[in-house]
Amino acid sequence: MKNILLVLSACIGIPLIGQVESNFSHFMLKPVSYNIAYAGAYEPIEVGVHYRNQWTGLTGTTLSTGSLDFSMPLHKINSGIGLNMMYDVIGVQKNLYLSAGFAYQLKIKKAKLGMGIAGGIIQSTLYGNLLKAPEGDYNNNFDHRDPIIPLNKASGISPYFSVGLMFTYRKLQIAYSVTNLLEGKTIIANPTNSKNLIFTRNHYASISYKFKLSKSLVLAPNILFKTDFIEHQLDLNLMLAYKAKFDIGLGYRGYNKKSNESVIVLLGMNLWKELKVMYSYDISTGKSFGSQYGSHELSLVYKFNYKAKLISPKIIYNPRFL
């Protein structure tokens, strides 16, 4: 229970404060969830399923995230659409993200500038009956004696908006986005209490490039910087692809002693041309080292590699005008 209270305090605060979005070591495989401007930037239709189990072995606490991403180009109008669904479990708190967006791809000679906007909701649920406050009465009655913590299950919904920009030129990709643009607020405690759970506005900046080392080898560095201008975090990895079939990589999360979090080992394979599977294991290097067994992540990304064929309408000649 001590660990549950610790995780809850870190995530929602007492009183309730801002919450930062989940980490993914496979961020380069799910760009549309970070930046809606990705939608329509590339040819294939993409569907991605991702699951992350954070800090396994942490006693009494469940930290896991699952997401489903979808992006599809709209060639006739140089645009694309993107959908994202994410279910985040943080101890006794659960968040469901649902969003849909549109991006326009402006062609600039050999380059492309994507501009996108997305909207949706965040549903949050807190299971207060699984918590115990230090001054609560749990002998005769179940009473937290705390106006902030609900006695039972409490839920709330807040709006979600994001915007993004992405510049692509050949093998270079540079992107910037802002999620939780309006910093949606929802009451998730007792109805008579005015304290809110605030979903903090987050900023993402990323850059990636693909170096062709030989006919068989491609080296791809990926960098993602995340900040809410209070806390900052840096994700980076270096992926080596062999014959577009196998991937092996090494990653790191953190940039100083305070944010140092993990070293990441990544393995990927294209089961066939359209389907990629990737697994990674995060080895904790921060303060949580020794109290848990690292984090596991699994991704499946399917690409529909085809172009919509333009079918000309059948011409029927009118004999009156022959």
Which pLDDT score, from 0 to 100, does residue 320 have? Answer: 54
Spatial contact of 113 and 100, defined as CB atoms under 8 Å apart: no
pLDDT of the chain, 322 residues: tens digit per residue: 334 333 444 344 444 445 567 889 999 999 999 999 999 998 889 999 999 998 887 766 678 999 999 999 999 999 999 999 999 998 888 999 999 999 999 999 889 999 999 999 999 888 888 888 888 888 878 888 777 777 788 888 889 999 999 999 999 999 999 999 988 777 665 555 545 677 889 999 999 999 999 999 999 999 999 999 988 999 999 999 999 999 999 999 998 888 888 999 999 999 988 899 999 999 988 766 666 788 999 999 999 876 544 444 555 555 555 4
Please report whether residue 133 resides in a domain: yes
Whether 94 maps to a domain, the answer reads: yes
Query: What residues does 19 pair with on adjacent strands?
Result: 199
- The reported pLDDT for the residue numbered 289 is 60
C-alpha distances out from residue 298 to 61, 82, 143, 158, 162, Å: 20, 21, 40, 29, 25
Q: What angle is formed at CA 150 by the lines to CA 145 and CA 154, rounded to 5 degrees?
A: 175
Judge whether 320 lies within some domain: no
Which pLDDT does position 66 carry in this prediction?
A: 96
The predicted model scores a pTM of 0.85
Q: By residue range, what is the domain housing residue 17? A: 2-309
* Structural domain includes residue 321: no
Residue 10: φ, ψ to 5°:
-70, -30
pLDDT at res. 49:
97
In a domain, 69, yes or no: yes
What is the pLDDT at residue 258?
80
Quote the pLDDT of residue 19: 57
- In this structure, what CATH number is given to the domain that contains residue 76? 2.40.160.40
Q: Is residue 241 part of a domain?
A: yes
pLDDT of residue 314: 57
Number of domains present in the structure of the chain: 1
d(CA 134, CA 77): 59
In a domain, 239, yes or no: yes
